[in-house]
Structure 1
């Protein structure tokens, strides 16, 4: 019996390998072989960084698109989970849609059909040429997204006029920012809120209690 079971198990394992049953997809195993080709090297670089951030910090990434770019939450979740889109592609599709005043789903459908041409060509078809004022507006929007995540982003020469003092060699973090926590807020924001409560909230009550103890000790 034991020999028979062992042989069956070995056969099942071999069969699974033969038909290509694979381990769960990794964060980089996206539906489309990932190559954004936006027409701007800086944009391509930071879309790649968003792949890493969105895969690791899913909730703040989704919240950013829903709250600030008008993307439906169910669509963003579907793209990341069921359709296995790269986070950078989800971000670009929804921000591009917001710039042209169309629903994110409209750009999503176009990208799924024409992704082989790259984002630069798709954007041109939608009236936004790389280097145009509209493309610059889309590109500029990366920076406040990173600021809200509390994540470092380097500013290229094209954006230095929009963000003076944050070019190469400058402090590229937003003021007092640190890596975002799992709730989508930066740790600096959490520290600020905690300090505010300490002046007049629960921590203040605790200080009053300590004051009473000191008075008793002095009697």
Structure 2
């Protein structure tokens, strides 16, 4: 009997302590079943990107998707949202032309339903114009992160190897300076103007790596 009373007392104390703690993080279950394999793959990669490169991720959510910075940080830090969830909420909002917080509130009412169901409820169904706009938004995000891709392109991106500015291009698709890549045309980044003769006429500063110093 004494052992039973001790067990009940311990359980009561544990519950009381739990109730006295501040309500902090609600960890959102990361459910990427949207009904589209390409989108699911991108969301997994975007989630990984957001965990690895927090500042560029937050900048993308605020600068392009128009989410308030305070909301993005609150979701990531206090409510325990995964970066992929934050991205998809703001992506849905942008496709529908509504504030990101509206999607967040709707999702938090029933987080177990998954993003695919919520998107369908809000009119974004696979194959619809809004869903295609959502895909184009993801492609634009990858472009700004330095790894341009095409909608429905079969590709897998490892952000541990392709971090910010290390992809095939950067914002606007412009090549970034960095280690020279094999290029049959001789366009190695960072080679322009380094030494006479690179421009084909021996004019330093105007070369692009194509000339041999002959007229």
- TM-score tier, shorter chain, comes to 0.5 to 0.7
Q: List aligned pairs for 1:128-207, cutoff 5 A.
A: 128-151=124-147, 153=149, 155=150, 159=151, 167-168=153-154, 179-180=163-164, 188-189=175-176
Corresponding residue of 2:213: none
| Residue 36 (structure 1) shift | 2.1
**What is the CA deviation profile of residues 133-188 of structure 1, one whole-angstrom value per residue up to 9, with x for unaligned ones?**
111110121111011111365x5xxx36xxxxxx458xx99xxxx63159xx7795
Aligned-pair Cα RMSD in Å: 3.6
Corresponding residue of 2:108: 112
Q: Which runs of 5+ in 1 are unaligned?
A: 1-18, 20-28, 161-166, 200-206, 208-219
User: Do structure 1's residue 86 and structure 2's residue 82 form an aligned pair?
Assistant: yes
The answer as to whether partners of 1:30 and 1:86 remain within 8 angstroms in 2 is: no
Q: Secondary structure at the match of 1:69?
A: coil
Distance in 1 separating the partners of 2:64 and 2:28 = 26
| Residue 32 (structure 1) shift | 2.2
Q: Please report the TM-score for the alignment, with normalisation by the length of structure 2.
A: 0.60
Q: Secondary structure at the match of 2:76?
A: helix
The 1:135–1:168 alpha-carbon spacing in structure 2 relative to 1, beyond 3 Å, is closer
Runs of 4+ aligned residues of structure 1 deviating over 6 Å after TM superposition are none
Distance in 2 separating the partners of 1:124 and 1:82 = 28
The answer as to whether partners of 1:50 and 1:88 remain within 8 angstroms in 2 is: yes
Distance in 2 separating the partners of 1:99 and 1:137 = 6
Distance in 2 separating the partners of 1:122 and 1:132 = 15
| Residue 56 (structure 1) shift | 0.8
Q: Please report the TM-score for the alignment, with normalisation by the length of structure 1.
A: 0.59
Corresponding residue of 1:43: 39
Distance in 1 separating the partners of 2:33 and 2:92 = 14
Aligned residues: 155
